[in-house]
Structure 1
Amino acid sequence: MRPRSLMFTLYGDYIQYYGEEIWIGSLIRLMGEFGISEQSVRGATMRMVNQDLLKVRRIGNKSYYSLTDKGKRNIEDGVRRVYSIKNHKWDRLWRVLTYSIPEEKRELRTQIRKELTWLGFGLISNSTWISPNPLEEKVMDMVREYHLEPYVFFFQTDSIVSHENEDIITRGWDLEKIENEYKQFIQYCEARYEEIKQAIYSGTLSNRECFKERTILVHEYRKFLFKDPGFPLDLLPQKWSGIKARELFWKIHQLVSNGAVQFFEECYQPAPDNEVLPNREGAINPFLGINVHV
């Protein structure tokens, strides 16, 4: 696991429910469970501070890290997409974004590509991205955040004259590759589900192991947010493996959540002036309070 990616998982799955702030010592202990050194944790936190994703405050000789507004937006969007149920029908509209960003702003161009990929857009031709999902608000937030108004055009269309919808999908996304990766995830989860279930029933699965299982599960499932565009059901292939993968994710998550949260609480140390009551129910079951897309 890369430190920054793991840190996003920890903030989204645990820390946000405990006052949104954590002592660096607790973070070092938690991330050490996955073989990440203290030096790597400290380096990752400072880079995230420099990128305006984290902010730090010091009390005595201790440092406490919390998310900035920018960091919170990233976390909230990721959590919502991991835990929400997507079974909406297509409104028959394509969202199309084109841009022409000067070469001297190529770093900005690279960042916009990452943002569009994260949102589930597919690249159908040079600098032309498309999605069937209602992402107008998120795209316009991105345009305003990066001051892209001079460089982009963003519009809707209910008809693409030159190509059938199937052609557009084939051009923009490799659904066969995503399907195969879901099958690998399912194969792993099916085996782990039976093993974990037996270990829990026999009382041999520790809280520490529950924490590692849940964190790895969420960490691995989050990767599909960069691959699966989250199509409406109308556009998905029959027997789409993403549906079964989500069901298995939920099953394992619920098995290990109670023990995982208990281990987190053993490691977590709040700031002495943090009077926010932890939302333990939310930490155990992040599915609560998540909007369901119908």
Structure 2
Amino acid sequence: MQKKLNTRSMIFTLFGDYIRYYGNEIWMGSLIKLLEPFHHNEQSVRSAISRMSKQGWVVSRKETNKSYYSLTERGKKRMEEAAGRIYRIEPEKWDGKWRMLLYNIPEEKRQIRDELRKELIWSGFGLLSNGVWITPNNLKEQIYDIIDKYEIKEFVYFFEAENEGFQANQQIIRSCWDIDHINNLYQKFIYAYENKMIENCKKIEQGQMSDKECFVERTLLVHYYRKSLFVDPGIPKELLPKKWLGEYAAKLFNDYYKILAAKANTFFEEIYLAGYSNHEKQTVSK
């Protein structure tokens, strides 16, 4: 597991796992306080939130001398997509169709290509051949959003198709994604957290883990699981190898998450609500 945590990435984790359930807004002072246990100082938090604002993920509002940040509509949609993948236990069933995306971006728009590639990979597309992206999942809505975002409708072709060729569907999967690498990431996650869950469950039952410690542990759990998961395009069950560890890792994640949830939420609420008046606290509480 990686040791150095990216500030921007951690802020996304907090928005996705906590803040969006509490009115989708947080005072900068509370955000700084929540990130202190992860060794992020005030300057790094302010710099990261500034970049996120320029990139269109968050928007700010001022009230007296306080700054509050919330997710934009784009940010909310990304968090919803992420949550659908993070908290899913079983792979989706396959409808037997492949979705294919082809594009021919003109040279004057070449700066869009790298961004488009990142968006497609994040959404779960794999590169079948040069300029041809493919997925067994129904990502029509995500594709339309990406096309509208970059205003490239006239340069994109999008098809739904069935495999009538000579390569088995499982072989197509292996051609587009490194299945063994993804499975290995799940193995590392299981190795890191399987015994840890048992040990910390006992500590919580015996009153040996504080609310703050549970908050840190749950946040790191989500953060690391999210990083492993987003390499996984969410391949349907019918197309996965027999020895697939994704489902076991998902169950481990959900079980441990529930064990930590109550005490973690208590700590978060204490810091979060410090940024609001008594009247406001009644409206922003979960």
The bucket for the TM-score relative to the shorter chain is over 0.9
Output aligned runs, 1:43-192, within 5 Å: 43-192=47-196
Q: Which moved more, 1:194-203 or 1:32-41?
A: 194-203
Paired-residue identity, % = 46
What amino acid maps onto 1:52 in structure 2? G
Cα separation, 1, equivalents of 2:207 and 2:117: 47
- 8 Å contact from structure 2 (residues 29, 275) kept in 1: no
Partner in structure 2 of residue 235 of structure 1: 239
What amino acid maps onto 1:237 in structure 2? P
- Cα deviation for residue 277 of structure 1 reads 4.3
Cα separation, 1, equivalents of 2:114 and 2:228: 20
RMSD: 1.5
Q: Which moved more, 1:241-250 or 1:139-148?
A: 139-148
Partner in structure 2 of residue 286 of structure 1: none
- Cα deviation for residue 261 of structure 1 reads 0.4
Higher relative contact order (CA closer than 8 Å, sequence separation 6+)? 1
* Structure 1 spans left out of the alignment, 5+ residues: 280-294
1:219 to 2:223 alignment: yes
1:20 to 2:27 alignment: no
TM-score, normalising length: structure 2: 0.93
What amino acid maps onto 1:143 in structure 2? I
Cα separation, 1, equivalents of 2:208 and 2:15: 28
- Cα deviation for residue 9 of structure 1 reads 0.8
Cα separation, 2, equivalents of 1:33 and 1:277: 24
Cα separation, 1, equivalents of 2:166 and 2:242: 25
Q: Which moved more, 1:217-226 or 1:240-249?
A: 217-226
1:256 to 2:263 alignment: no
- 8 Å contact from structure 2 (residues 194, 252) kept in 1: yes
Pick the structure with more helix per residue: 2
Partner in structure 2 of residue 276 of structure 1: 283
- 8 Å contact from structure 2 (residues 87, 250) kept in 1: no
TM-score, normalising length: structure 1: 0.91
- 8 Å contact from structure 1 (residues 53, 70) kept in 2: yes
